[in-house]
Chains A and B, each alone.
Chain A
Amino acid sequence: DIVVTQSPDSLAVSLGERATINCKSSQSVLYNSNNKNYLAWYQQKPGQPPKVLIYWASTRKSGVPDRFSGSGSGTDFTLTISSLQAEDVAVYYCQQFYSTPYTFGQGTQLEIK
């Protein structure tokens, strides 16, 4: 099974500042046949199901604000929020779609400093 590990577990950032969350997979999630990284990012607010932000590691889902961006390839990935807004307080998860079981990271709690 592919193990997905996020860091940090929690993060406090001032409004308007940059937030960075890291995600590492125990093996590459890059499919050489199509050169795509099978890695997604989700945002979950209390009492709600998760919402997808990023897929293919760096493609922003339609409707997601452009302050959210994803980067990385192979085994190391990053979710960046360029200018933190109050509504971004949530738990963020990465997930690999390369092979079953489709494992998630443990989550990163993002708060306002």
Chain B
Amino acid sequence: EVQLVESGGGLVQPGGSLRLSCAASGFTFSNYWMHWVRQAPGKGLVWVSRINSDVSNTSYADSVKGRFTISRDNAKNTLYLQMNSLRAEDTAVYYCVFDYDPKGAAFDIWGQGTMVTVSS
């Protein structure tokens, strides 16, 4: 079964740091580009970042550029999101997602998400 399991969320003070992890299983992780999407409480979905399969290319939303870093360890089948200089507006559920179906273009595999709360 194709599965993504996020971890690492929690409560952090403004200005603090947090590292999210996403453990992948059931597919050849190293073949796929991976993404993070977030959702603030009661709000809509926001694409955060993307990394290609061989780690040679990354992309970020303007709202997190310079503060967040996406990375991956293909040997460990794990995706990461290092979040620095956190702000209250970064409070959200963070989902690890990717496009698994080779016939389509959409995020068809989602983790259950990990909650990040930035508050003093």
A residues in contact (CB < 8 Å) with B:
1, 36, 38, 40, 42, 44, 49-52, 54-56, 59, 61, 93, 95, 97, 100-107
Contact = CB atoms under 8 A, between A and B. Distances in A.
B112 A104 contact: no
A82 B96 CA distance: 32
Interface of B: 35, 44-47, 50, 59, 61-62, 95, 101, 103-108, 110-113
Nearest to A53: B106
Q: Which of B45, B61, B106, B112: most chain A CB closer than 10 A? A: B106
Nearest to B104: A55
Given A49-B113, A104-B44, 4 more contacts: A95-B45, A95-B107, A100-B50, A107-B44
B44 A106 contact: yes
Contacts of A101: 47, 59, 61-62
A97 B106 contact: yes
A34 B112 CA distance: 33
Given A40-B107, A59-B104, A93 B44 contact: yes
Given A49-B112, A101-B61, A55 B106 contact: yes
A91 to B, nearest CB: 8
Contacts of A107: 44-45
B106 A61 contact: yes
